Chain A
Amino acid sequence: MKDKSGRGSNNGATPYDFGGEWTPSELEIARRLARKKKNQRSALIAALSSFLVLGTLVLVIVTSPGWETLRNTFFKWAYGVEVLPKIILGFGTNAMLTVIAGTSVALIGLAIALLRTSRSPALTPFRFLATVYVDVFRGIPMLLVILLVGFGIPALQIKGLTNNVLVLGTIAVIITYSAYVAEVIRSGILTVHPSQRAAARSLGLSNAQTLRHVVMPQAIKRVTPPLLNDLVALIKDTGLVSILGVTDAVRAAQIQTAKTFNYTPYVMAAIIFLLVTIPLTRFTDRMLRNSLEKQNAQGQA
């Protein structure tokens, strides 16, 4: 039997509007006051404990004997500001790579997911190849793929094939991430209940129309949070192409560090990555929570 009670979904929600006629009873007023007090106390406790823990941590670090050296090696802000433009310029490469690879990965991943979930007999050999592809590239460290593509392809010395490390690095990233993303999308497609397909087909929709109007919208909605997680990972992983000599943020920082043996440029690069990834992570988190809340409110397992 379906649970339609929606139990507990009303906790803490604003009370229903009864057209201005209603004033809360004594009991309700007292209850609200108590609730407010409780909330205030919780907030106070949270603030106090944060202050204590974080304060102690800072104190321990700052008073430690190595702190002076540590600060000069990693947090020399004047130097950091000096090299910042170069690192930001390098980060432009990471951003571009993210956009180009991200778009390609979305399209290729979608195509592979559709291929793997299709049942058309004509596509059987492609389905097989897609499965092999996904298994292989999900099982190899991306760094190896980057090395293989970035150094291996130029070694072939085939005319007409590019030797541009940026292009090759991008291709390696696309190859690897498409395999991940295809699996995420495929799992989303598989979670759409089979009777949704049956309902669509019985309405006369063709297979393609069923996919487009019924299956994919539901699947994509479900996999958006995990896909955003993959986007965050992609942004970070674009830093790996620096190993091919592409001047991205990581490489730019490395060049500076090599000159002065001061590691502040690395910290600066890390901060730039964080400025992009943290808001995205928070956003993903909120989205996931919202969609979970919605599912729970429906009360359906």
Chain B
Amino acid sequence: MSTPVLRLEKVRKSFGKEIVLEDITFTVPEHTATVFIGASGSGKSTLLRCVNLLDQIDDGQILLDGSDISAAEVNPDEVRKKLGMVFQSFNLFPHMTVLENIILAPTKVQGVSKEVAIEEAKDLLAKFGLKDKAQQYPDRLSGGQQQRVAIIRSLARHPRLLLLDEVTSALDPVLVNEVLSTVKDLKEEGMTMVLATHEMGFAKQVADEVCYLQNGRILEWGTPQQILENPQLDDTKEFLRRVHDAGRL
């Protein structure tokens, strides 16, 4: 078997005395999507931030394409060039147009010429139905459009791995679907992804593996069918029941 894109081994993270992640181990093979579900505060965002080296882990190892990115001598900027990350909200830079947002990293970080970067940005915008928004400022876009631009912005850097942190939870329900279908398209194209989400229906559609996170530990994991339809642990059942009652299933 080839090296997985991402592998975490016994990762631990605490903020002061509070342990936020404990004994986190999982593998993300190429072209697959791993989805994390779990209550608010269970550590999903922290996990993604650790992979992106925005937060430092206390113990364990993070391997990207087989090399240890949690090692002390690793330059985070170099690692982040291979990762795309989209947050819950406040993603786009409000003082730049959509196009400027997208070409910022390719031109400033990857050294792509401006003409090439613009060309590619326009292709991506056209592909995702946002062609006419190129010259708009983010505050003129709907929340759903903003999130799609944020996804496009991270794609423009050709990441090895895409990290998506509840990209729909700040959106009105009617806007959620357009963002989710964008993510599904990417999955079908073979993008490797790690996601945190509250949308169980969506998790079922894109995930190759679902991990249930509680108090910083992966309690149960498996295929979407196993975890979402036939969970073994009472905790998982309880969580899914609560999500179901909240109308998200």
* Residue A65 is within 8 A (CB to CB) of chain B in the complex: no
Residue of B nearest to A218 (CB): B95
Residues of A198-250 whose CB lies within 8 A of B: 198-206, 209, 213-214, 217-218, 221
A209 touches B109 (CB 8 A): yes
Contacts across chains A and B counted by CB atoms under 8 Å: 68
A4 and B144 CA atoms in complex are apart in Å by 11
A205-B105, A209-B109, A218-B94 given; A198·B87 CB < 8 A: yes
A204 touches B81 (CB 8 A): yes
* Residue A64 is within 8 A (CB to CB) of chain B in the complex: no
Residues of A within 8 A of B52 (CB): 202
Residue of A nearest to B80 (CB): A204
Residue of A nearest to B90 (CB): A195
* Residue A1 is within 8 A (CB to CB) of chain B in the complex: yes
Residue of B nearest to A197 (CB): B54
A201 touches B80 (CB 8 A): yes
* Interface size bracket, A side: 20 to 34
A1-B172, A196-B93, A198-B87 given; A203·B143 CB < 8 A: no
* Interface size bracket, B side: 20 to 34
A205 touches B93 (CB 8 A): no
Shortest CB-to-CB span from A263 to chain B, Å, is 50
Residues of A within 8 A of B89 (CB): 2, 195
Shortest CB-to-CB span from A2 to chain B, Å, is 6
Shortest CB-to-CB span from A30 to chain B, Å, is 34
A195 and B93 CA atoms in complex are apart in Å by 10
B91-124 to A contact mask, C-beta < 8 Å, 1/0: 1111100000000110011100000000000000
A201 and B109 CA atoms in complex are apart in Å by 11
A2-B143, A4-B143, A218-B94 given; A202·B172 CB < 8 A: no
Q: Which residues of B contact A (CB under 8 A)?
A: 49, 52, 54, 76-77, 80-81, 83-85, 87, 89-95, 104-105, 108-110, 139, 142-143, 150, 153-154, 157, 170, 172
Q: Which residues of A contact B (CB under 8 A)?
A: 1-2, 4, 193, 195-196, 198-206, 209, 213-214, 217-218, 221, 298
